[in-house]
Amino acid sequence: MKKSALPDPFAQAREAKGYGTVEDQNDPVTMLLRLKDVRKTAKDTKTFQSGAAPGRIVVPSEVSIRDTRQIPFEVDPPMHGEYRALLEDWFKRPEQPDYRESLEEIITELVDEALQMDSLEVMEQFALKLQSRALTLLLNIPYEESETWIGWGMHVFRSEESALDGDKAAILYDYIDAQIDKAIEHPGDDLYSVLLDSEIEGRKLTKEEVKGVMILTFAGGRDTVINAVTNSIAYFAEHPESLTRLDNEPEITAHAVEELVRYFSPLTHMGRVVTEDTQVCEHAAKADTRVSLCWASANRDASTFENPNEIVIDRKMNPHVGFGFGIHKCLGATHARQVLRVLLGVLAQKVKSIDILEQKDNIEDWGEFQRKVGYDSIQVEFHRKD
């Protein structure tokens, strides 16, 4: 097994019965493991809702630690569509050339720095910085603000002792409250101000709604991007031939990014609450229980993906669900894709090879399944091209 591999712990259960179960605070979750079931269930937002009690569709459940509804993530149609319509254009900005150029600057600086160091720990010293600095572009706020977020360290949302730590989450909530108040006093052209000024159903968004959107852009885009970036570095360390290929054929970059997102599936699964007694893959699902859409398992489904456990860097047919599926598909995907496309470009251009010196895998515990999603830490050495 290569050091950078992410094994598929779901294969047997996916093929044998199509689902698995994970206990969670007396509110167990039936994880759907097959691509077709995941897609079908994601589309059926009537029977499988996101707009349950705030925090309930998250696993582990956050019902006991927060009341703020995350928007548009924990909202069902028709309101969901109203919120998405408000946000969609803003979250497409990463396609603009000047956004891409700014990303290139941020990433080039980090790669140059890495090339000069004897060695570095990728999560803290590369991926967290990259993610934080890139997020200032998405929110359209000064670059310096990223220093605050980097200062919070890796575990503002997920503490090391337990996945649910209310005190740590409070840092983010207090911070966002303060930023919203600041934007009310001094409106600008940042996302806070734009949201405060937008209207839904003929009225202004409330502070609580603005908070619900902002929290999600921080929480949803943090671990996912950090893991995608770090896992990419680990992959290229063991596959320098892929770097060479990307350098010679930059036109495959977009395909490569989709393939990395499929293979890494940085968000393992996401829950839904069942609204009426029904069945999912011949398994009874009772009203008011939880199922989850396991993107990570669906993305290794051999009935659709050839060689699902291989990274095929130019995979052409790749109907993955790494960014979700249906109306809740990732709003940050344009940003995430642009980050990864630029990263691959800069690495291919500047880096000859990378050595992994030491690593500690980050293994998620989902009851019967143990899934490696990335690293707690990974020390590497970058080598420049001559």
18 binds ligand HEM (CB under 6 A): no
Q: Which of residues 254-273 bind another protein (CB under 8 A)?
A: 254-255, 257-258
Q: Which amino acid is at 97?
A: P
Q: Which of 347, 385, 345, 371 is nearest to 122 (CA)?
A: 347
Q: What's the Cα-to-Cα distance from 362 to each of 2, 371, 374, 376, rounded to whole Å?
A: 15, 8, 5, 5
Q: Is the CB of residue 106 less than 8 Å from the CB of residue 130?
A: yes
301 binds another protein (CB under 8 A): no
CB of 82 to ligand HEM, least distance (A): 11
Q: Is 32 exposed, middle or buried (0-12, 13-18, 19+ CB in 10 A)?
A: buried
Give the tokens for residue 4.
């950078």
84 binds another protein (CB under 8 A): no
- 40 makes contact, choosing from ligand HEM, another protein, none, with CB < 5 to 8 Å by partner type, with another protein
Map residue 76 onto helix, strand or coil: coil
Of 195, 257, 273, 336, which lies in the binding site for ligand HEM, with binding defined by CB under 6 A? Answer: 336
Of the candidate spans 33-41, 116-124, 153-161, 350-358, the one that interacts with another protein by CB under 8 A turns out to be 33-41
CB of 335 to another protein, least distance (A): 12
CB of 341 to another protein, least distance (A): 9
Q: Tell me the per-residue interface mask from 193 to 222 with ligand HEM, x by CB under 6 A, - otherwise.
A: -----------------------xx--xx-
Q: Which is nearer to ligand HEM, 13 or 86 (CB)?
A: 86
Beta-bridge partner residues of 364: 371
Q: Which of 325, 289, 283, 266 is nearest to 29 (CA)?
A: 289
Span between the terminal Cα atoms of the chain, in Å = 31
Q: Is 202 exposed, middle or buried (0-12, 13-18, 19+ CB in 10 A)?
A: exposed
Q: Which of residues 162-201 bind another protein (CB under 8 A)?
A: none
37 binds another protein (CB under 8 A): no
324 binds ligand HEM (CB under 6 A): yes
Q: Which residue is nearest to ligand HEM (CB)?
A: 332
Map residue 151 onto helix, strand or coil: helix
Of the candidate spans 170-178, 203-211, 309-317, 321-329, the one that interacts with ligand HEM by CB under 6 A turns out to be 321-329
39 binds another protein (CB under 8 A): yes
Q: Tell me the per-residue interface mask from 305 to 344 with another protein, x by CB under 8 A, - otherwise.
A: ----------xxxxxxx-x--x--x---xx--x-------
Alpha helices (H) along the chain: 11-16, 35-43, 79-87, 97-116, 122, 128-139, 145-152, 166-185, 191-196, 207-219, 223-238, 240-248, 253-264, 295-298, 333-350
Q: How many CB atoms lie within 10 A of CB 218?
A: 17
100 binds another protein (CB under 8 A): no
Interface residues with ligand HEM (CB under 6 A) are: 50, 72-73, 84, 138, 216-217, 220-221, 224-225, 228, 261, 266-267, 270, 295, 322-324, 328, 330-332, 335-336
